[in-house]
Amino acid sequence: MLNNKFFVAVLIGCCIISGTLFAQDKTVDQIVAVIGSNVVLKSDIEEVYLQNQAQGMTSDGDMKCEILEQLLVENLMVAEAQLDTLIIVTDNQINQQLDARIQYFIQHLGSEKEVENYFKKPIVQLKSELKDIINNELLSSQMKNKIIEKATVTPSEVRYFFKNIPEDQIPTINAQYEYAQISIVPTVSEAEENAIKDKLRDIKRRVENGENFSMFAVLYSECPSAKSGGDLGYFGKATMDPAFSAAAFALKPGQISNVVKSEAGYHIIQMTDRMGDKIRCKHILLKPEVKIEEKEKLANKLDSIADCIRKGKLSFEEAAFRFSTDKNSRNGGGMVINPQDMSTKFEVEMLPPEVSKVLTNLEINEISKPFFATDDKGRDVIEIVKLINKTPAHKANITEDYQLISDRFLEKKKNDLIQDWISKRQSKTYIRIDETYQNCDFKYKNWIK
């Protein structure tokens, strides 16, 4: 199976309709497959294959066969979706996906200029060619969702499914940790705040006098967007910090904001374009440094809080509510939620490095000493953590791992529905695959007739 599935899907989508997005001038091409009224060209497969190699992607099987099959499935889905009057793709949906796609390319390749060099065409032309492609991707996605929308599982089905898994195929569950935290952002001195603001004001003045905003972003910004000149792409109001959004959406194209304070630090923002309810901006983020004395003072305070909890003078839940500055956990007694599945369980690889180093050495209900870490906004914080529960690595069982087993059974049901749907469409659709690909070990059978 191909690794880095999102980028693979992007590249395949970019070839499915036009077959020319990555292509150089070609006078001769080979039809690898015919499916209904559509064709898949050898260049479609070769171009995706070359891009995958350039990105270091690998496959457990034959990558070119996998690419061909994904193109075949995509064509079936799109053809059916176009006949379904209930499946509709709006311009707003296309534009959202288009913005995300271009931003992905910019982040992956480094800058707009690098994207244009990579695809050998201007961004404007690239966007124009991507619109039809994204339209078809959305049609295919909606068709797939319609196929699996009625898939459900019952507890009795889950138990029966698990009972019939061969012993050697029962998955091993890695050790999982549940923990609570008290996390505090250190106070920044007024002198440090003023120095940051003065630096940003000076940059704003210099840009307004003709210097390049992107250059300053590359040189000084502490946001990952610095490598692309501070460009954040198009975004809606709800996707950013409220203070940042309020300042950004008040700007006119080309205008630069005053200094804005967000949870991440201090910014100046330059609005570059507006499209419907979205805007495109560049920004420069500077994060104030906290003096070591302040960190040590806060660490001592947290140490005292932890000692009070250990002596029963204060519950961890109450202390989290009173002292923690982490909005995501303080109201839940400090309990940390896994953003990937919204559960309270984390495997070691999912934990922040500083947390995993401490947590894996605690006993259940033990509270750590204070330690320095970085939160999800990139800020320096000081924390104590409490290990709530640890589930050792084990073979899955229906008692401890019901939800995981249920999810896997539901996924199997969805895959079975898709397989059944594809099989029926294969039998009703004219399909011819060139002999050079007839030995492929396809996931879905009956492509070869």
pLDDT (tens digit per residue) in 397-433: 999 899 889 999 999 999 999 999 999 999 999 999 9
Q: Look up residue 29 and give its two tokens.
A: 């091409």
Residue predicted with more confidence, 34 or 46: 34
Q: Could you tell me the pLDDT band of residue 21, with boundaries at 50, 70 and 90?
A: very low
Q: What is the pTM of this model?
A: 0.64
Q: Could you tell me the pLDDT band of residue 53, with boundaries at 50, 70 and 90?
A: low
Cα 342 to chain center, whole Å? 15
- Tell me what percent of the residues of the chain surpass a pLDDT of 90: 61
What does the CA dihedral 328, 333, 335, 340 come to, rounded to 10 degrees? -40
> What is the CATH number that goes with domain 190-286?
3.10.50.40
Q: Look up residue 4 and give its two tokens.
A: 């880095």
Looking at residues 196-211, what average pLDDT do you find?
96
Instruction: Give me the count of residues in the chain.
Output: 449
Question: At the top level of CATH, which class does the domain 176-187+290-395 belong to?
Answer: alpha beta
Answer for the pair 421, 200: CB distance below 8 angstroms, yes or no: no
Does the structure show a pLDDT above 60 at 13? no
pLDDT at 92: 85
Helix orientation angle between 5-16 and 91-109, rounded to the nearest 10 degrees: 120
Does the structure show a pLDDT above 60 at 365? yes
pLDDT at 9: 41
What does the mean pLDDT of the chain come to? Answer: 87
pLDDT at 137: 84
Q: Which residue has the tokens 């053809």?
A: 79
Neighbours of 336 (CB within 10 A): 22
Answer for the pair 1, 58: CB distance below 8 angstroms, yes or no: no
Read off the DSSP letter of residue 308: H
- Give the C-alpha separation, 383 to 369, whole Å: 8
pLDDT at 10: 41
Does the structure show a pLDDT above 60 at 14? no
3-state secondary structure of 210: coil
Indicate where the chain has its CATH 3.10.50.40 domain(s): 176-187+290-395, 190-286
Answer for the pair 429, 35: CB distance below 8 angstroms, yes or no: yes
- Give the C-alpha separation, 416 to 423, whole Å: 10
Neighbours of 341 (CB within 10 A): 13
Spell out a b/e string for 344-359, using b for 16 or more CB atoms within 10 Å of the CB, else e. Answer: bbbbeebbbeebbebb
pLDDT at 283: 97
Maximum distance among all alpha carbons in the chain? Answer: 81
Q: Which residue has the tokens 């947290």?
A: 302
Residue type at 248? A
pLDDT at 17: 37
Looking at residues 233-252, what average pLDDT do you find?
91
Q: HSE-up of 386 (CA within 13 Å, CB side)?
A: 22
pLDDT at 377: 80
Q: Could you tell me the pLDDT band of residue 109, with boundaries at 50, 70 and 90?
A: confident
Looking at residues 53-69, what average pLDDT do you find?
80
Does the structure show a pLDDT above 50 at 142? yes
Residue predicted with more confidence, 111 or 396: 396
Q: Look up residue 37 and give its two tokens.
A: 């009224």
Q: Could you tell me the pLDDT band of residue 380, with boundaries at 50, 70 and 90?
A: confident
pLDDT at 51: 55
pLDDT at 55: 54
Looking at residues 21-32, what average pLDDT do you find?
58
Q: What is the CA radius of gyration of the chain?
A: 27
Helix orientation angle between 42-54 and 63-83, rounded to the nearest 10 degrees: 120
What does the CA dihedral 397, 401, 407, 412 come to, rounded to 10 degrees? -10
- Give the C-alpha separation, 233 to 280, whole Å: 5
Q: Could you tell me the pLDDT band of residue 61, with boundaries at 50, 70 and 90?
A: confident
Q: Could you tell me the pLDDT band of residue 392, with boundaries at 50, 70 and 90?
A: very high
Does the structure show a pLDDT above 90 at 357? yes
Q: Where are the beta strands (DSSP E) in 257-400?
A: 260-261, 266-275, 278-286, 346-347, 371-374, 380-391, 394-395
> What is the CATH number that goes with domain 5-151+409-437?
1.10.4030.10
Does the structure show a pLDDT above 60 at 121? yes
Terminal alpha carbon distance of the chain: 24
C-alpha closest to that of 23 among 46, 39, 2: 46
Looking at residues 240-252, what average pLDDT do you find?
94
- Tell me what percent of the residues of the chain surpass a pLDDT of 70: 92
